[in-house]
A = this chain, B = another copy of it.
Amino acid sequence: MERGVEPYEGDPALPGGFLNNVEEGILAAAHRELREEADLDASRLHLEQLGAYGEPGRDPRGRVVSVAYLAIAPGLPEPVAGTDAAGAFWTPVEEVLSGRLKLAFDHQQIVADGVERARAKLEHSALAAAFCAETFTIAELQKVYEAVWGVQLDPRNFYRKVQGVPGFIVPAGAERRTTKGRPARLFRAGPRTVLHPPLVRPDTPMTNEVDQ
């Protein structure tokens, strides 16, 4: 969102806000803020807790403890600015990770943590299928993995690997004919949500971490 109030008025930031009445849980509050601030609804929306951020100095108003949530969903509409927001827009994560788009508070760090979580999530969960239409080809599923991981995958090996996970995707019977090339078989999401074996992503460029 583009913030409409101080602090950081006018700066881009993640949508969020304070807990409401004493009956509201933190997950419900995340849903509410997403709806209020960006008009994004809960249907087909996976919300997963990232963690709490509560070091002093992260908010000029004082020590504020925020619980961050990662939302994963396909085909989201354009966000609409709601309460306290001057604007709302999507941006590629690369803009934030590279530092070209600077966010308010410590939201830069929260985004970095969220992206890493999403990338790891694809390895062990069937969430990627949720980013495709009701039925989809294996090549389409591959594009989801490539987009999130930011890598290129071998179509032949991906094809079998994905079929080697029982219950991940099941044949949908039909085929899809595109303008060129052989028609592809269609699949739909299977019953499994945890992947055995996992789809491991290729080695990241080996950050040579020696600390923490």
Q: Scan A15-56; emit 1 where CB is below 8 A from any B CB, else 0.
A: 000010011111100000000000000000000010110111
Q: Check if A67 sits within 8 Å of B54, measured CB to CB.
A: yes
Task: Kindly report which residue of chain B lies nearest to residue A69, judged by CB atoms.
Answer: B52
Q: Scan A168-212; emit 1 where CB is below 8 A from any B CB, else 0.
A: 000000000000000000000001111010000000001001111
Most B CB within 10 A of own CB, among A23, A65, A167: A65
Q: Check if A23 sits within 8 Å of B56, measured CB to CB.
A: yes
Determine chain A's interface SS by DSSP, over half rule.
loop
Enumerate chain A interface residues (CB-CB to B < 8 A). 19, 22-27, 49, 51-52, 54-56, 62-63, 65, 67, 167, 191-194, 196, 206, 209-212
Q: Can you pick out 13 interface pairs between chain A and chain B where the beta carbons lie within 8 Å of each other?
A: A19-B54, A19-B65, A22-B62, A25-B54, A26-B52, A27-B54, A27-B55, A49-B52, A51-B52, A65-B65, A191-B210, A192-B209, A192-B210
